[in-house]
Amino acid sequence: MQPKTILALALCSIGVAGCATRTSDSEVEGAVAEVIKVSFKTRGQATVDRLNQDDAQALCSKYHDRPPREIAGKIEQSQTATIRYPSSGKLMGDWREGERIAQSGVGWQFTDAPTRPAGGSCYNCHQISKQELSFGTIGPSLYQFGKLRGSGEAIQKYAFGKIYNAEAFSACSNMPRFGHNGVLTEEQITHLVALLLDPDSPVNK
Amino acid sequence: MRIHRLLAGMLAVTLPCFSLAQQDTLKEIERYRQLLQESNPAELYEARGAEHWKRERGPKNSSLERCDLGLGPGVVKGAYVRLPRYFADTDRVQDLESRLVTCMVTLQGFTPEEARRSPFSGTGTPMITTEPFSGVSRPSVMTDLVAWIASESRGMKIEPPMSHPKERLAYQAGERLFYYRAGPYDFGCVTCHGEEGKRIRLQNLPKMTNAKDAQRAFGTWPGYRVSEGEVRSMQWRMWECIRQMRFPELEFASDASIALITYLAKKAEGGTLDAPSIKR
């Protein structure tokens, strides 16, 4: 055997050993798809088709929520196009209703009644009014949100859009796309806008 | 157990009175946990679990004493901290609970459906009706076994094996699942467990890619949850997170549950098992 052939064979066997110890990405992907298919079952309103990802979900999963800038820009662009502002033009509802929605964490679990309107789970992740001490910290504090920013049309539009589809402003945000995904109604979102911006809301006291 | 629930209730009521600052609240909860740890109701589950291991059950009227949890037939000591792992007889990676299903089927003659029927104690899941237990708590043989088997690894280092290709594949699949975002809330495990020092309401969240957090989180399951008055297992923890993520139901002992547990076990590697623990 020529030395070159021996070298080639040696390299080849290293390559094969490498393949045997490391599973390729596509193999893992195939395995995950199969694992998902056999491991979940529809229960109540939580049907198995909820596991099908849209483009934004798939990209965020792929990049572990830190997509390259170019892809982040594309996600934000496509998500911005989904936002539907109220045709009435009225973006501010009732902050008292908003507070109730912000407190409630029910909705969309297989243990929840599908007929009951979902809450916004806002306090799970955000400080909002000063009175509520039991708040989460996954999202930023929203206390004094309106006091710092005013309550003009531009900020109303921003707040509505952010709640409607947070990924329009920040790709792969942890925050659910409440309006886009149909979790909250347009009217519910206007109440949350009021909770954040109304000068009478406890948020701005 | 009733006393513990009462204490929990009292604490919940009095907390706002004596703690204006949140840090104090958290400190008090931690102190309360330490107090409870000294007489953990999980010990009742452990004692029952040790009995179940020896008890002849099922169509074959046989015990689980020859069950191989990875360290050889009948070896329980240290088994839990070396799971999940690959088992040649099933050609699968299995965690403790899926392995117990296998043993209930092969040794005791239950059907897989029977062995999986009552994975969690208490409310929420139907129990094996043939079991001679009654009362409010409705114990699960599976949960009792898990409590006892974990207790036999208390104080040991978490060392999940990663030498078999299927173990590594399970880890990689678990990692993908950890970052998998889906459903009406766009949630994935990473949404709550991807950053350090975060909370949902007042509940602290471990960052699972941080070794210290993962070790503490993984190392304290199974645990007695005061809020439910029940011992809960790692399979239950996965099932419950997935429910709150608005996903469809995660099947007990399913491949996805095992892949996630394999991923978390590896992240917690080197930590010490402090379970069954006591939790809020």
Instruction: Give the pLDDT confidence score for residue B148 in this predicted structure.
Output: 98
State whether B185 and A183 contact (CB < 8 Å). yes
- Give the pLDDT of residue A160: 98
Do the Cβ atoms of B226 and B253 come closer than 8 Å? no
For chain A, 205 residues long, give each residue's pLDDT as a single digit of tens. 455 544 444 444 444 444 445 678 898 999 999 999 999 999 999 999 999 999 999 999 999 999 999 999 999 999 999 999 999 999 999 999 999 999 999 999 998 999 999 999 999 999 999 999 999 999 999 999 999 999 999 999 999 999 999 999 999 999 999 999 999 999 999 999 999 999 999 999 9
Residue B123 confidence (pLDDT): 52
For residue B152, the one-letter residue type is: E
Here the tokens at position A45 are 């309103």
> Among partner residues B168, B173, B199, which is closest to A32 by beta-carbon distance?
B173
The domains located in chain A, with CATH, are 27-205 (1.10.760.10)
CB pairs under 8 A between A and B: 147
Cβ B187–A176 below 8 Å, yes or no?
yes
Q: Which residue has the tokens 């706002």?
A: B16
With a pLDDT cut of 90, the percent of chain B lying above it is: 75
Nearest to A176 among B169, B180, B185 (CB): B185
- Interface contact flag, A35 B255, Cβ < 8 Å: yes
The pair of three-digit structure tokens given for residue B106, joined into one six-digit string: 């092969």
Chain A residue at shortest CA distance from B23: A133
Average pLDDT over residues B124-147: 61
pLDDT of B5 > 70? The answer is: no
Cα separation, B187 vs B242, in Å, equals 9
* Interval B21-40 mean pLDDT: 74
- In what order do the strands lie in the sheet containing B230-232? B230-232, B223-225, B277-279
**Cα–Cα distance, A124 to B191 (Å, whole number):** 12
Cβ–Cβ below 8 Å for A32 and B202: no
In this structure, of A107-111, A184-188, B89-93, B131-135, the range with the lowest mean pLDDT score is B131-135
**Residue B52 and residue B144: Cα distance in Å, rounded?**
8
Which pLDDT value is given to residue B280?
81
C-alpha closest to that of A98 among A205, A185, A175: A185
Q: Nearest CB to A39: which of B183, B190, B251?
A: B251
Domain ranges of chain B: 2-37, 42-280
Mutate to test the interface with A, among B201, B239, B252, B262 (most CBs of A within 10 A): B201
116-145 of B, contacting A, C-beta below 8 A:
none
On whether any CB of chain B is under 8 Å from the CB of A114, the answer is no
Q: How confident is the model at residue B31 (pLDDT cuts 50, 70, 90)?
A: confident
In whole angstroms, what is the distance from residue B259 CA to residue A170 CA?
Answer: 30
Whole-structure pTM value: 0.88
Please check whether residue A105 is in contact with residue A124, taking contact to mean a CB–CB distance below 8 angstroms: yes
> Does CATH place domain B42-280 in 3.40.630.30?
no
What is the C-alpha end-to-end distance of chain A, expressed in Å?
A: 87
Asked whether residue B131 carries a pLDDT value surpassing 70, the answer given is: no
Q: Say if residue B172's pLDDT is above 90.
A: yes
Residues of A numbered 75-94 whose beta carbons fall under 8 angstroms of chain B's beta carbons: which are they? none
Tokens of B96: 């403790």
CA B172 to each of CA A31, A173, B7: distance values in angstroms, whole numbers, following the listed order? 9, 24, 42
Subunit contact A40:B255, Cβ cutoff 8 A: no
- Enter the ipTM: 0.90
CB contact under 8 A, A52 and B255: no
Mean of pLDDT values over B246-266? 97
CA distance A33 to chain B (A): 9
Put simply, the answer to whether B184 touches A50 (Cβ < 8 Å) is: yes
Query: Region B22-41: what's the mean pLDDT?
Result: 76
Helix (H, G, I), strand (E, B) or coil at A15: helix
Predicted pLDDT at A205: 94
10 Å Cβ neighbour count for A177? Answer: 25
Query: Which of these, B162, B172, B248, lies nearest to A108 by C-alpha position?
Result: B248
Nearest-angstrom CA–CA distance, B215 and B266: 9
- The pLDDT of residue B139: 83
DSSP E strand stretches across chain B? 85-87, 92-94, 198-200, 203-205, 223-225, 230-232, 249-250, 277-279
Enzyme catalytic residues of B: 241
Extract the tokens encoding B170: 């399970």
User: What mean pLDDT comes out for the span B176-205?
Assistant: 97
- pLDDT value of position B228: 82
- What pLDDT shows up at residue B1? 41
Question: Which member of B201, B203, B254 has the closest CB to residue A39?
Answer: B254
The helix/strand/coil state of B249 is strand
Range from A14-23, B182-191, B248-257 carrying the lowest mean pLDDT: A14-23
Contact across the interface for B249 and A42, Cβ inside 8 Å: yes
Share of chain B above pLDDT 70, in %: 86
Whether B26 and chain A come into contact, CB under 8 Å, resolves to no
Question: pLDDT value at position B21?
Answer: 60
Determine the Cα–Cα distance for residues A74 and A19; give it in Å rounded to an integer: 35
User: What average pLDDT does the structure give for chain B?
Assistant: 88
Annotate B54-69 with DSSP letters as a single string: HS-BTTTTB-STT-BS
* Cα–Cα distance measured from residue B166 to residue A27, given in angstroms and rounded to the nearest whole number: 12
Q: Kindly state whether A130 is in contact with chain B, defined as any CB-CB distance less than 8 angstroms.
A: no
| Contact predicate B181/A57, CB 8 Å | yes
